[in-house]
Amino acid sequence: MVTPMKKILDLPFEERPREKLMAKGAQSLSDQELLAIILGRGTRRHGVLSLARKLTKIIDEKGLCLDARELMAIDGIGEAKASSIAAAVEFVRRRIKPEGLRIKVPIDVLPLIQHYGDRKQEHFISISVNGANEVMTVRVVTIGLVNKSQVHPREVFADVIVERASAIIIAHNHPSGDLTPSKEDISITQRIKKAATILGINLLDHIIFNSKGYYSFVENQKL
């Protein structure tokens, strides 16, 4: 049985998104809470937190390549709400965007992906890097089950080839909280490394992370 999503008024005053933001700062809020504030309110059928949860899934998949019309596919998201979200994403993209971030070591990309650390499903992420060691794009390649994400090299490299990246960093969250690489993690790392070598693209690292820490294949000499 799915637990109903709480409404804003059901939450203790100090746990409501706006009040929490004012007391603790925006950085203390989850992605869903931030979206709830941008949305402002829900509908008769859908509470704002429920809408924010559905939106988060789409935005995770689309990243900065977000089309307002895709958001309108969600029941309860009309043109006004979709436009507000798309405008907010574009506003931030123009000012605080990953492109141009120069990385000295692969783990420098962690701030760009850390917000996926609390997801209940595995999100497999690819970070494209150019010849100047600058981040080009951060994208979610696949979203898996609770503890398993199905990944194929062609999904990882399809867009990377088009944008002519020189290198990539792959990463995924572990919903279980255990950062130890599984046999599947090791296997997919080897497969992607072989594919990268054939394509002439450098695989810089595979990072496993959650909201509290990370495991780097490079730092542990596993790559």
Model pLDDT, residue 206:
96
Q: What is the DSSP letter of 131?
A: T
Indicate if the pLDDT at residue 207 is higher than 90.
Answer: yes
Cα 32 to chain center, whole Å? 13
Model pLDDT, residue 121:
84
Model pLDDT, residue 81:
87
Beta carbons of 105 and 167 less than 8 angstroms apart:
no
Domain boundaries, the chain: 8-95, 106-216
Indicate if the pLDDT at residue 208 is higher than 60.
Answer: yes
The chain-wide mean pLDDT, for the chain, equals: 84
Model pLDDT, residue 137:
84
In this structure, what token pair is assigned to residue 133? 């060691």
Model pLDDT, residue 1:
40
* DSSP labels, 139-187: EEEEE-SSS-----HHHHHHHHHHTT-SEEEEEEE-TTS--SPPHHHHH
Model pLDDT, residue 203:
96
Weakest-pLDDT range from 10-19, 49-58, 76-85, 139-148: 139-148
Q: In what order do the strands lie in the sheet with 214-216?
A: 135-143, 123-129, 167-173, 202-209, 214-216
Q: Which of 131, 130, 123 is nearest to 99 (CA)?
A: 130
Beta carbons of 32 and 52 less than 8 angstroms apart:
yes
Between 199 and 148, where is the model more confident? 199
Q: Please indicate, yes or no, whether the overall pTM of this predicted structure exceeds 0.75.
A: no
Between 62 and 18, where is the model more confident? 18
Indicate if the pLDDT at residue 141 is higher than 50.
Answer: yes
Q: What is the pLDDT of residues 24-67, one digit of tens each?
A: 888 888 888 888 888 888 877 888 888 888 888 887 777 666 78
Indicate if the pLDDT at residue 205 is higher than 50.
Answer: yes
Model pLDDT, residue 164:
92
Weakest-pLDDT range from 29-43, 158-172, 175-189: 29-43
Cα 33 to chain center, whole Å? 15
Model pLDDT, residue 2:
42
Average pLDDT score over residue span 77-99: 77
CATH class of segment(s) 106-216: alpha beta
Indicate if the pLDDT at residue 106 is higher than 90.
Answer: no
Report the alpha-carbon distance of residue 121 to residue 152 in Å, rounded.
Answer: 17
In this structure, what token pair is assigned to residue 127? 């970070």
What does the buried/exposed string (b/e) look like for 66-99 if buried means 16 or more CB atoms within 10 Å of the residue's CB?
bebebbeebebbeeebbebbbeebeeeeeeeebe
